């Protein structure tokens, strides 16, 4: 769930009835997730991996929060550890490195983010966190947990991330959309912010595509 989903539905444009609106949770339902109304966390167990989706949004705000879902995420991660499973946690917002945002959009304030990642690492050190929100590509660690920010299909360079799970680890691979009409738009969006976006968003290759080995689970 992204911050745009935590706002009132907007009228559809084009030939659609101007009074028609898009329910915020429809995208998740279309994806087959069936996110229950009012739930902060959704869990799915795949072979060799527990996937936890966390709602990090605050209604009508760009900034995010982990406090609302921290305990529930940790409990699910700890349960996965008892089963010998690593855990993949996906939330919309990223952990901010500084108390004051130094770029837009803001993520989760660092003190709150530190609590979240410390709790997650204690619950299950074989964890991986991925976020969107910034539409850029970055990789770093918080309390030993690898965390990534992944771009958007609609903004340059026009990407999505895939994950391959092995017995010993997980591989993130970022793919670029390739449809010609979409590429025309993403190349156009490259010039945003006086051309700075084309330099800011892609990040380094090692931010986008890499392999992470799971630590041993005691």
pLDDT for 62 equals: 85
pLDDT bucket at 59, cuts 50 / 70 / 90:
confident
pLDDT bucket at 60, cuts 50 / 70 / 90:
confident
**What are the tens digits of pLDDT across the range 31-47?**
666 666 668 899 999 99
Range of lowest pLDDT (17-26, 69-78, 131-140): 17-26
**What are the tens digits of pLDDT across the range 152-167?**
999 999 999 999 999 8
For range 71-78, the mean pLDDT: 98
For range 206-218, the mean pLDDT: 94
What are the contacts of 27-36 at 24+ separation with CB within 8 A?
28/1, 35/1
Q: From residue 8, how far is each of 22, 35, 92 by CA, in Å?
A: 9, 18, 18
* Residue 173 resides in a domain: yes
* Residue 218 resides in a domain: no
* Residue 82 resides in a domain: yes
Give one DSSP letter per residue of 27-67, joined into a string: HHHHTT--PPTT-SEEEEEETTEEEEEE----TT-SS--ST
* Residue 75 resides in a domain: yes
Residues 34 and 77: their CA atoms lie apart, in Å, by 21
Name the domain count of the chain: 1
H/E stretch holding 207 reads helix 205-208
Structural domain that includes position 187:
3-213
Mean per-residue pLDDT of the chain: 88
pLDDT for 104 equals: 81
Res. 68: pLDDT tops 60: yes
pLDDT for 117 equals: 98
Adjacent-strand bridge partners of 91: 54
Q: Which residues make Cβ contacts (< 8 Å) with residue 4, sequence separation at least 6? A: none
Extract the runs of DSSP E, i.e. beta strands, from the chain. 41-46, 49-54, 87-91, 127-131, 138-142, 145-149, 159-165, 169-176, 210-213
* Residue 193 resides in a domain: yes
Q: What is the CATH number of the domain that holds 97?
A: 3.60.21.10
């Amino acid at each position: 769930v992204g911050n745009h989903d935590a706002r009132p539905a907007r009228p559809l444009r084009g030939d659609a009835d101007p009074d028609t609106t898009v329910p915020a949770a429809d995208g998740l339902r279309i994806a087959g997730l069936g996110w229950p109304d009012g739930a902060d966390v959704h869990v799915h167990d795949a072979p060799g991996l527990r996937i936890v989706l966390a709602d990090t949004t605050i209604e009508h705000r760009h900034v995010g929060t982990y406090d609302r879902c921290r305990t529930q995420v940790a409990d699910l991660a700890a349960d996965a550890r008892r089963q010998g499973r690593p855990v993949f946690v996906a939330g919309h917002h990223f952990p901010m490195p500084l108390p004051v945002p130094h770029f837009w959009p803001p993520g989760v304030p660092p003190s709150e983010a530190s609590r979240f990642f410390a709790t997650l690492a204690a619950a299950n050190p074989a964890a991986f966190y991925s976020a969107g929100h910034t539409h850029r590509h970055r990789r770093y660690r918080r309390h030993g947990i690898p965390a990534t920010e992944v771009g958007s299909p609609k903004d340059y360079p026009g990407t999505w991330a895939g994950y391959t799970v092995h017995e010993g680890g997980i591989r993130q691979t970022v793919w670029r959309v390739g449809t010609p009409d979409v590429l025309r738009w993403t190349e156009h969006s490259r010039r945003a912010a006086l051309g700075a976006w084309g330099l800011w968003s892609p990040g380094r290759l090692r931010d986008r595509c890499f392999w992470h080995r799971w630590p041993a689970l005691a």
